[in-house]
Amino acid sequence: MPVGGAALDLVGVPLPDETLSVAKQSDAILLGAIGGYKWDKNEKHLKPETGLLQLRAGLGVFANLRPATVLPQLVDSSTLKKEVAEGVDLMVVRELTGGIYFGQPRGFSTTEKGEEIGFNTEVYATYEIDRIARVAFETARKRCGKLCSVDKANVLEASMLWRKRVTLMASDYPDVELTHMYVDNAAMQLIRDPKQFDTIVTNNIFGDILSDEASMLTGSIGMLPSACLGESGPGLFEPIHGSAPDIAGQDKANPLATVLSVAMLLRYGLQEEYAAITIESAVLDTLNNGFRTGDIFSSGKKLVGCKEIGEEVMKSVIKLFRNR
């Protein structure tokens, strides 16, 4: 189904009603990257990204899970020193449908002096904080039992409420170690000592920024999948990267984030754990065999395009299924 720029070209809106209707009736949704230079100058309601926000809101997916794992095969692709990057395995749980991206009032106005202003509102209700906190605690419980809540509670009232509600919920999870960190410190610590983190929970805008920062610990944004989950209904699974219009049609893009998003779809959306593990193992097998796209290429490896590395993953999937 069309969404984003494809939908704009087809029917003139970034999220057609039919697309949302079909999505709601699905078991799970795999979303391709959206956007491109062609639509950058469109008015806000006609930008591809608006379709993505509308899709998330329409599906009620409020929890964005973004893993950032430095694979042994790609540790040299990280811009950090090997001893810092090696062994990093963290999960960012981002609140997705509240905060400053959705808060009202928002817009443009003019002051009494005739100066134009733009304004947005950072606002969170207790239920929005509680439900994302519960997802984060449950996620941390399944991982290493450590949860770091990131906020700006020394300045922002919305963050003060955030910290209060997350702290209250901690009593329901005595097996999870909860810590708090201001967002500016968290941004520094992700670079200084990323292995201190296991699971991070934070609001929409902080999560948007920190998860992209965390992605670069791995060496390339082209390696990272994500899952967007709600309380009911289908989940939305997508790579965290954009559409890379500068290399469109050149067979250069790294498809592995999308492939790994399929693995997350199988695990979280369809409860098909074996299939998810098979796909993840096939990606590792492909990397072990030395195949690399340009964004993760290093000396001594085989540089290939999007199509060829995809074919290599498929070969590994078939081999793993035959050998099970």
Instruction: Supply the residues annotated as catalytic.
Output: 101, 152, 184, 208, 212
Instruction: Give the whole-angstrom CA distance, residue 283 versus residue 276.
Output: 11
Ramachandran angles phi, psi of 71, nearest 5°:
-70, 140
> Parallel, antiparallel, or unpaired: how do β-strands 116-119 and 107-110 relate?
antiparallel
In the chain, the N- to C-terminal Cα span, in Å, equals 34
Smallest CA-to-CA distance from 187 within 166, 207, 203, 167 is with 207
The pairing of beta strand 199-202 with beta strand 146-151: parallel
d(CA 301, CA 47): 39
Q: What is the DSSP letter of 88?
A: -
Q: In whole angstroms, how far apart are CA 114 and each of 12, 111, 152, 171, 242?
A: 34, 5, 32, 52, 37
Asked if 150 contacts 178 with a C-beta cutoff of 8 angstroms, the reply is no
Query: Phi and psi at residue 160, in whole multiples of 5°?
Result: -60, -45
> For residue 127, what are its two tokens?
């239920």
d(CA 226, CA 29): 12
